[in-house]
Amino acid sequence: MSNRQAEIAAALDVVPPFADDAALQAEIERRKGFIKQTLRNAGLKVLVLGISGGVDSTTAGRLAQLSVEELRAETGDADYRFIAVRLPYNTQHDEADAQASMQFVNADEEQTVNIADSVIGLREHVSGLKGLSDARRDFVVGNVKARIRMVAQFTIANAHNGLVIGTDHAAEAVMGFFTKFGDGACDLAPLSGLVKGQVRAIGRALGAPDQLVHKVPTADLEELRPGKPDEDAHGVTYAEIDAFLHGQPVSDEAYAIIVRTYDNTRHKRELPLVP
């Protein structure tokens, strides 16, 4: 392991590879314990999470549902509950996966907020977007989608006096692969420190459908390239990112891309600058 690998892994609190199934199960219990304690500390009883149909939100959603079920059993308080939210932009191209995820998560309550009107309304009132190239405009509006989804989730959480769950994990954090104040904004991030393979392993252990566990990850924010794979944006594979974070050998090219991207996206992982 290089010094930079060790430094980055430590900064992101990367969880070591699971030694065996017992270690995997222990990590699941630790994550549920974290979710439950966070609710207790806040004095609140409701969790909110947007479900996209990918393995990250599927895994986080099921952990949330199991956590509130345990809280109800432990406290006898039926007010503990989890709200799973669909946040499509018009019709999502992989809606079947999103519905499969919702069915697996089996949340106490389900809501749907179509963000299209809000995104289009904002887009039409920002004159600076009109002079951009089609590709650049598509990218900027993609970030608007992520931020409107954040607003919708916090609105629902505020209405129910609850907390918003985020799905960020170490393999996305190292690449800065989230929208600042969009999907990067949340009250708690129960997948933090896990690499992508570990998120898949936890999802599989929880019983998630194989089609979701092994689904090609996509942020799906660009209309010109719907379903664009994350790895195309990264320039490296999640297998290489996971290996890097676990101190394992990677190619010189992958190493350079990961370190450069980590350094360039540092501002996304820090609080706003102050004098």
Judged against a pLDDT cut of 90, whether residue 81 lies above it is answered with yes
How many other β-carbons are positioned within 10 Å of the β-carbon of residue 83? 22
pLDDT at 14: 98
Q: Is 172 a residue of the active site?
A: yes
Residue/partner pairs of 206-210 with CB below 8 Å, 24 or more apart: 206/28, 206/59, 206/62, 206/63, 206/66, 207/62, 207/104, 208/55, 208/58, 208/59, 208/62, 208/101, 208/104, 209/100, 209/104
User: Across residues 46-73, what is the average pLDDT?
Assistant: 98
17-224 fold: Rossmann fold (3.40.50)
Q: Which pLDDT tens digit goes with each residue over 18-59? A: 999 999 999 999 999 999 999 999 999 999 999 999 999 999
Give the dihedral sign, CA 167/3/271/231.
negative
Domain limits of the chain?
A: 17-224
Element (H, E) at 164: strand 163-164
Q: Which pLDDT tens digit goes with each residue over 195-245? A: 999 999 999 999 999 999 999 988 788 888 888 898 988 999 999 999 999
Judged against a pLDDT cut of 90, whether residue 84 lies above it is answered with yes
- Amino acid present at 270: E
- Between 66 and 226, the more confident residue is 66
Q: Considering 27, 56, 187, 220, which one is annotated as catalytic?
A: 56
Closest CA to 234 of 213, 259, 212: 259
Q: Considering 97, 168, 172, 242, which one is annotated as catalytic?
A: 172
Judged against a pLDDT cut of 80, whether residue 1 lies above it is answered with no
Q: Is 231 a residue of the active site?
A: no
Give the dihedral sign, CA 189/192/194/195.
positive
- The model's pTM is 0.95
